[in-house]
Amino acid sequence: MARYSDELKQKMQLRMMSPNNEPVSQIARDSGLSEWRDCPAGVSTAKGTSK
């Protein structure tokens, strides 16, 4: 499994939170990351439900 810097992780998390509320699928497409694991609890997925 690939390792990502804490800075990259924080940037992705910020995009998922208000006021951006970007869907994970959009962030994955934009960033080129195709595999998402261990999403933080309470973060909405592309379908609008929590993990």
Q: Is residue 12 part of a domain?
A: yes
pLDDT score, position 6: 92
Question: CA-to-CA distance for 7 and 42, rounded, in angstroms?
Answer: 21
Residue 26 lies in a domain: yes
Residue 14 has which token pair?
């910020």
Q: Tell whether 46 is covered by a domain.
A: no
Give how many domains the chain has, as a whole number.
Answer: 1
pLDDT of residue 19: 92
Residue 2 predicted with pLDDT over 80? no
- Give me the domain span that covers residue 9: 1-34
- Distance between CA atoms of 37 and 19, rounded to whole angstroms? 23
Residue 4 domain flag = yes
**Domain membership flag for residue 50:** no
On whether residue 20 sits in a domain, the answer given is: yes
Residue 10: the pLDDT is 92
Q: Tell me the pLDDT tens digit for each residue of 3-50.
A: 888 998 899 999 999 998 999 888 888 888 766 565 555 555 555 444
